[in-house]
Amino acid sequence: MGGWWLLGGNDHLHCLLLTSCNHTPSLPNPLNPNLSLLQTDAQPTEAETAVWNQVSAVLEEAHGILAELQSYNGAGQEIREAIQNPSDLQLQEKAWNAVCPLVAKLKRFYEFSLRLENALRSLLEALTSPPYAPMQHLEREQALAKQFAEILHFTLSFDELKMTNPAIQNDFSYYRRTISRNRLNNQQLDAENEVNNEMANRMSLFYAEATPMLKTLSNATTKFVSENKTLPIEDTTDCLSTMACVCRVMLETPEYRCRFTNTDTMLFCMRVMVGVIILYDHVHPVGAFAKTSKIDMKGCIKVLKEQDSNSVEGLLNALRYTTRHLNDDSTSKQIRAMLQ
């Protein structure tokens, strides 16, 4: 395989990695002159512009979504008071008024996941379309490859925040129970106009997932592969395994790691690596954990476990609970033990 780019972390380090990473588990020689880390801010070529603009608009919105989720405190106290005092109408109204704007936020997050899904699909089409091989695509379309990485970074960031915030499901459950109770009493609530029953059902399924954004992208990638039967599945999986390899090399090679200017860039790299592993595991027939996998899973898990446990526990959980093939017979005991 030829040489390649990655990474770009929001306003952080934009890196270019030229590597002879050939999908084998062995680590390329970090002193190899063909392996270097440069700063770059990949700009789209004319051919990439339409897709780049579409994805760019979604990524711009992503920053606001993350900020809103980060500051999501929930209506736990109001809900508790309302439940403890069922005959106090004032407390019922107070809880309802606290929950409604939060549910409107949750609806926005869910609707954003659909736009993210479309953006991912456009990137997959651009990065796997004939006549070029995945490696050539990643070399030719560096701006799109960077956007792919940024989508994965957002996805893992969103899911980490969601996993540690039980208020989201508590608020939504209370909202649905209140709607059902009022429907029995033939009362129509204004908020129902915003989130009708069908939308509420779809949102319920979305938030019931441990990692809802990742699940959305995994499903979208699987669907993309199944709908494009003329496209060899390797075109998609090789694109993903190459990205995983580059991230791993950057994280485990001191020469590159020491150039990361802050922990955010490290996290960016780790999230992208975990994201592509999970997508690969969903799309590849035998998954990421088998001996024949083109991803060095031992190396990837090892590099995660070497980091501060607070920053990687969510990522390790994503590998434990959102992959498809971890518990297959083809997964070595050693890899399973590493993720215990």
- How confident is the chain (340 residues) per 10-residue block, as mean pLDDT? 40 39 40 33 84 95 96 96 95 94 96 96 89 79 90 94 94 92 63 75 94 93 90 89 89 81 84 94 93 94 90 90 90 91
Distances (CA, A) of 133 to 232, 242, 248: 10, 12, 22
- In 3D space, the residue among 71, 66, 73, 63 whose CA is nearest the CA of residue 166 turns out to be 73
Alpha-carbon gap, residue 300 to 238, rounded angstroms: 16
pTM listed for this prediction = 0.84
In three-state secondary structure terms, 176 is helix
Cα distance between residue 204 and residue 206, in whole Å: 5
DSSP at 14: B
pLDDT value, residue 185: 61
**pLDDT at res. 132:** 80
Q: Which pLDDT does position 22 carry in this prediction? A: 45
Amino acid at residue number 251: L
CA pair distance 97, 99, nearest whole angstrom: 6
